[in-house]
Structure 1
Amino acid sequence: MKLMKRFLIAAVLLVAGGANAQETITDNNYDQGFRLGFGINAGGVTNDAFNFAFGGDVRLQYDLSQDTSLTLTTGFTNLFAKENEFKDLGFIPVKAGFKAFINSSPFYVMGETGAGFAVTNGYDETTFIWSPGVGYANDFIDLSVRYEDVDSYYDSGIIALRLAYGFKL
């Protein structure tokens, strides 16, 4: 499983890097700037201890070119427990990432990495997070699907759908 995770990370980074290889040469006059987005996330958890995940996030994005951006994301995610022997787990993710649009289309690939800080029900563990995803974005709406690995929380992963509203700052 760890080998597959590493392969997935490498594939996302390779596609993200290749998607922009020729575009940056012609984007010299692009008005670089910041965007801010507010999103809602919901999805399934790959561990039997939890039913589903739900949360919200805030993403600051700096556009390097028309096709590439750097991101900083934080928010709150709650993993809802299935059994009485487990408690719900809430954590604050703090992630940095890279977003690359494919051939100047509204479709993109994205990779993020960072940490998750448990904040509820007596959990006090911090976990490493890595999160590849794909999505569609226009001037205001961002719709994406991602896998978020939160391994230290009972060897869990989250497959989530994100719907966000974003705007230029």
Structure 2
Amino acid sequence: MKKTFLIIGIVLGLNPLFGQEEDIDLTVDNSWLKAGITAGVPVSDAGDVSSFALGLDLRGQYLFNPNLGIGVATGYNNYFGKDNYDDFGIVPLAGFIRYYFTPDGLFFGSDLGYGFLTGVDDNEGGLYINPQIGYHNRDWNIYAYYQNTFAENDVDIQAVGIGATYNIRFK
């Protein structure tokens, strides 16, 4: 129940960002796809059954201004099983927000959504969060992240790692 209230609170808190009455004009300077990879070390519950996490990251971003970007994020994160455990994965479906301090330099942001589990019996997934801090320029984003999926049956799937995405501009 706490997770439901958290999601509702965040959606209502971000509502003014999406309540703009002006037309949104997508250009090469304010909108693009981000495609890249992530690599991480599973921690907590996930660290007991997995030794390494490798993923694909795909995002669509729109900049409201030079400092604030929002968008949607998805991809696939594979957790490689260790000992007698099988591999499993997470397919996130999330919204994200990023704050860029300067046109080139430090940024921070976070994803919030739902993580769908693959390769796991009796557990469909749960609340997905992915805070990030990193460096960006016009073409690349390099970042550190902490990823947590609060899955059903009190299972938290967590990883700490690094990622890199390339900006594919709309033309």
TM class by shorter-chain length?
Answer: 0.7 to 0.9
1:42 aligns with 2:42: no
State the partner residue of 2:71: 71
* Structure 2 equivalent of residue 110 of structure 1: 109
Q: Counterparts in 2 of 1:1-169, with a 5 A limit?
A: 33-46=30-43, 47-84=47-84, 86-120=85-119, 122=121, 124-152=123-151, 154-169=155-170
2:41 maps to a residue whose letter is G
Q: Which runs of 5+ in 1 are unaligned?
A: 1-5, 7-30
Contact preservation (8 Å) 2:94, 2:111 = yes
Secondary structure of 1:163's partner? strand
Return the letter of the residue paired with 2:69.
Answer: S
The answer to whether the Cα contact below 8 Å between 1:139 and 1:167 also exists between their aligned partners in 2 is no
The number of equivalent residue pairs is 141
CA RMSD of aligned residues (A): 2.4
Would the aligned equivalents of 1:89 and 1:121 in 2 still touch at CA under 8 Å?
A: yes
C-alpha contact 2:104 2:137 (8 A) present in aligned 1: no
Give the residue type in structure 1 aligned to 2:167: G
Gaps of 5+ in 2: 1-5, 7-26
Q: Secondary structure at the match of 1:83?
A: coil
1:71 Cα deviation from its structure 2 partner: 2.1
Task: Report the CA distance shift for 1:126/1:156 in structure 2 as closer, same or farther (over 3 A).
Answer: closer
Using the aligned pairs only, state the percent identity.
Answer: 24
- Distance (Å, rounded) in 1 between the aligned partners of 2:78 and 2:102: 35
Calculate the TM-score normalised by the size of structure 2: 0.74
